[in-house]
Amino acid sequence: MNDNWIALHTVPRAGKTLVFSDQAVWRRPLDEFGVPCTILEDIKAEIFVLPLDEGVLFRGRITGSIALPCDRCADEARVKLEHAFDEFEPYPAGVNLLPEDEAKERAPRQRAAQRKGGGRKSAGGKDGELSGADVTTDADEAVIRNSPHGQGVEINPAALAWEEFSLALPVKPLCRENCLGLCPVCGRNRNLESCDCGTGGTDPRLSVLHAFKAKA
Ligand SMILES: [Zn+2]
Ligand SMILES: [Zn+2]
């Protein structure tokens, strides 16, 4: 994701919406990190980027549909993605981004945007909690930086999109809510067929003892 840096001065004051619909944006890191994820319906991220006085506001949404291996039976678990987020990334230390008068002019706009953003976050419930402090800290370096080429501040919305995408993934995806999983003894998929391993009332680990008993 290192090739996705954008100079912030190319983003208009009023903000700009960036759309990531090229599946390579997702496919590349998925492969890189070895995530066994199949894309069923194109993953798309729309991110509104708004430069403010103290940082950049990223307001976005990720949609799409994927399949992951079920946590219990390894069968296909379909996951519908519908993830909204609001992230504020402060400018890196030591940046003087705007001339003073321009900064003043922009101040009221910033407050309005922050109010709006804050409101949505608390109302968002689950999403708001997910995009908590630890996540933001983690993303800071990857999403905003001082340009190594003297181009001022640069942002990496694609990296943020990836961060948010990984947040949207379920920790334990299930093929169905009541998935029975695999039999720990014979490995059969209990959703598809039953086996005798569990029904005999004999813990297979004790079978050695039973055999011993029978002999005696
Ligand atoms: Zn399952
Ligand atoms: Zn079994």
Residues 117 and 36 in one domain: yes
- Establish if 175 belongs to a structural domain: no
Please tell me the distance between residue 192's alpha carbon and the centre of ligand 2 in angstroms.
Answer: 12
Residues 190 and 158 in one domain: no
The DSSP code for 8 is: G
- Establish if 39 belongs to a structural domain: yes
Please tell me the distance between residue 187's alpha carbon and the centre of ligand 1 in angstroms.
Answer: 13
**The two structure tokens encoding residue 41:** 């319906």
- Establish if 188 belongs to a structural domain: yes
Give the model's pLDDT for residue 29: 87
- Establish if 174 belongs to a structural domain: no
- Establish if 31 belongs to a structural domain: yes
The DSSP code for 204 is: G
Please tell me the distance between residue 206's alpha carbon and the centre of ligand 2 in angstroms.
Answer: 15
- Establish if 55 belongs to a structural domain: yes
Strands 76-90 and 55-69 come out as antiparallel
Please tell me the distance between residue 182's alpha carbon and the centre of ligand 1 in angstroms.
Answer: 8
Residues 156 and 204 in one domain: no
Closest by Cα among 65, 86, 171, 75 to 129: 86
Residues 81 and 139 in one domain: yes
Residues 79 and 99 in one domain: yes
Work out whether the CA dihedral 93, 106, 114, 145 comes out positive or negative: negative
Residues 101 and 198 in one domain: no
Please tell me the distance between residue 172's alpha carbon and the centre of ligand 2 in angstroms.
Answer: 23
Residues 47 and 79 in one domain: yes
Domain that residue 34 falls in = 2-168
Residues 160 and 203 in one domain: no
- 64 DSSP β-pair partners: 81
Residues 72 and 21 in one domain: yes
What is the phi/psi pair of residue 150, to 5°? 70, 30
Q: Which ligand is nearest to the CA of 177?
A: 1
- Establish if 173 belongs to a structural domain: no
Residues 138 and 99 in one domain: yes
Give the model's pLDDT for residue 2: 52
Closest by Cα among 152, 164, 142, 35 to 99: 152
Please tell me the distance between residue 92's alpha carbon and the centre of ligand 1 in angstroms.
Answer: 45
- Establish if 25 belongs to a structural domain: yes
pTM for the predicted model, two decimal places: 0.67
Give the model's pLDDT for residue 148: 86
Give the model's pLDDT for residue 136: 38
Please tell me the distance between residue 73's alpha carbon and the centre of ligand 2 in angstroms.
Answer: 13
Residues with Cβ < 8 Å from 166, sequence gap 6 or more? none
Q: Over its length of 216 residues, how does the chain's per-residue pLDDT go in tens digits?
A: 457 899 999 999 999 999 999 999 899 889 998 999 999 999 999 999 999 999 999 999 999 999 999 999 999 999 999 999 999 999 988 765 544 444 455 554 444 444 444 433 333 334 433 333 333 334 345 899 998 888 889 999 999 999 999 999 999 999 999 999 999 999 999 999 999 886 554 455 555 554 554 444
Residues with Cβ < 8 Å from 26, sequence gap 6 or more? 39, 43, 162, 165
Number of domains in the chain: 2
